[in-house]
């Protein structure tokens, strides 16, 4: 899951970038931009990465699970709804941690998820509010209202998040010939949330629950940076 956090002062810039991509690909304004549908070739993917990489103010958070690393008895392994809720909860925590580190006095954040057909998102909200009642380092007071679940075609941030997720997927999941397309992910890597002193994204903008060698075994991986 990819979460895109952008301050109000830069929302128009992100919306303009998504609109530019859709215009270039002749995608109608009311149709959501999807990586799997509209970015099937390297030139298109490269174009998307270049456009989004140039948007100022974006902070990016990834939440990545490797199924092989999930205990066999864990219910999230066989229950898609629970897996989604669990992932969405971690993403929300990362969003709030990102908001807390933004400069300025007003760090409050509104959160929107893409609506998933067939899911009861009221159950997702119940799960998220249970997390709010647990002890953590997250400042839940920064969250404005309840998270909402909307059609991605109406939200440029969600369409951008789909592109960012696609870039990471292409970087870590081999194609049918065993190759990887890491160039797009690396092009936007500077937008990931990072440790304020070390600049490290691992454990910050890149939250990974996987076996120790899951990323280290990738041919392009150079370390936890």
User: What pLDDT is stored for residue 183 in this prediction?
Assistant: 98
Domain boundaries defined on the chain? 2-216
pLDDT > 70? residue 1 = yes
For the segment 76-93, the average pLDDT, to the nearest whole number, is 91
User: What pLDDT is stored for residue 225 in this prediction?
Assistant: 66
At residue 89, the 3 state secondary structure works out as helix
Q: How many CA atoms lie within 13 A of 27 on its CB side?
A: 19
Q: Are 2 and 184 in contact (CB under 8 A)?
A: no
Q: Report the distance separating Cα 80 and Cα 183, nearest Å.
A: 30
pLDDT confidence of 102, banded at 50, 70, 90? confident
Q: What is the bridge-based pairing of β-strands 148-150 and 112-114?
A: parallel
Distance of CA 179 to the CA centre of its chain: 23
For the segment 1-30, the average pLDDT, to the nearest whole number, is 96
Percentage of the chain surpassing pLDDT 70?
Answer: 99
pLDDT > 90? residue 174 = yes
| Sign of CA pseudo-dihedral 6, 62, 220, 181 | negative
pLDDT > 80? residue 41 = yes
Q: How does the average pLDDT of the chain come out, rounded?
A: 93
- 153-180 in b/e form (b: 16+ CB < 10 A) is bebbbbbbbbbbbbbbbbbbeeeeeeeb
pLDDT > 80? residue 203 = yes
Q: Give the least confident one: 28-32, 64-68, 177-181.
A: 64-68
For the segment 150-166, the average pLDDT, to the nearest whole number, is 96
């Amino acid at each position: 899951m990819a979460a895109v956090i952008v301050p109000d002062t830069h929302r128009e810039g992100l919306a303009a970038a998504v609109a530019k991509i859709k215009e270039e690909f002749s995608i109608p304004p009311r149709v959501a931009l999807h990586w799997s549908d509209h970015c099937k070739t390297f030139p298109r993917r490269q174009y998307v990465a270049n456009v989004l990489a140039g948007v100022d103010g974006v902070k990016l958070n990834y939440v990545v699970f490797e199924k092989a690393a999930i205990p066999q008895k864990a219910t999230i392994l066989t229950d898609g709804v629970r897996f989604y809720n669990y992932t969405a909860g971690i993403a929300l925590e990362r969003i709030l941690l990102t908001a807390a580190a933004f400069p300025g006095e007003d760090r409050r954040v509104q959160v929107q998820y893409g609506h998933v057909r067939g899911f009861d998102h009221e159950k997702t909200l119940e799960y998220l509010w249970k997390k709010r009642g647990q002890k953590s380092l997250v400042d839940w007071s920064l969250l404005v209202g309840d998270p909402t679940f909307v059609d991605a075609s109406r939200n440029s941030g969600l369409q951008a998040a789909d592109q960012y997720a696609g870039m990471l997927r292409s970087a870590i999941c081999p194609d049918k010939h065993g190759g990887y397309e890491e160039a797009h992910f690396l092009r936007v890597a500077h937008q990931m949330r990072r440790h304020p002193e070390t600049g490290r994204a691992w454990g910050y903008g890149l939250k990974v629950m996987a076996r120790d060698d899951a990323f280290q075994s990738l041919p392009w991986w150079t370390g936890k940076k």
